[in-house]
Amino acid sequence: MFDAVPGAPLAAPAPVLALEEDERLLCVRYLLRAEPSPGLLPRLLQPLAKRDLVPDRFRAGLEGEAMRVEIAVTLPEGMVHLVAGNLRSVVGVGRLEVEHGRVAG
């Protein structure tokens, strides 16, 4: 783990998502199993990065001969299925589950 250097500027906070008037913000958790490969993890982050989303949590680990990955992110309801579709299309992804709940507020 790297520590911040005292006096060094910090990265700008993630931009606030512009929501449509009736659009809800959801906390979403994508759970997937995939074949392990060196480029798997960056390919799984790409669907978020191209939408200017930063995951709230990203965990990955080997379970037997498969990679288990959890990606938690807060995003507009209309993006949930788009991100899921992009994740399903990543080479090596065998299973994807999506869990979500509404953001309180």
The pLDDT > 70 percentage for the chain reads 77
Q: Answer yes or no: are the C-beta atoms of 86 and 98 closer than 8 Å.
A: no
Domain extent, residue 91, equals 37-102
CATH code at position 68: 3.30.70
Q: Is residue 29 part of a domain?
A: no
- Residue 41 has φ and ψ, to the nearest 5°, of -65, -45
Q: Is residue 10 part of a domain?
A: no
User: For 71-94, how does the pLDDT look when each residue is reduced to its tens digit (9 = 90+)?
Assistant: 999 999 999 999 999 999 999 999
Please, where are the H alpha helices in 1-95? 40-49, 80-88
For the chain, how many structural domains are there in total?
A: 1
Band of residue 7 on the pLDDT scale cut at 50, 70, 90: low
pTM: 0.77
- Residue 60 has φ and ψ, to the nearest 5°, of -145, 145
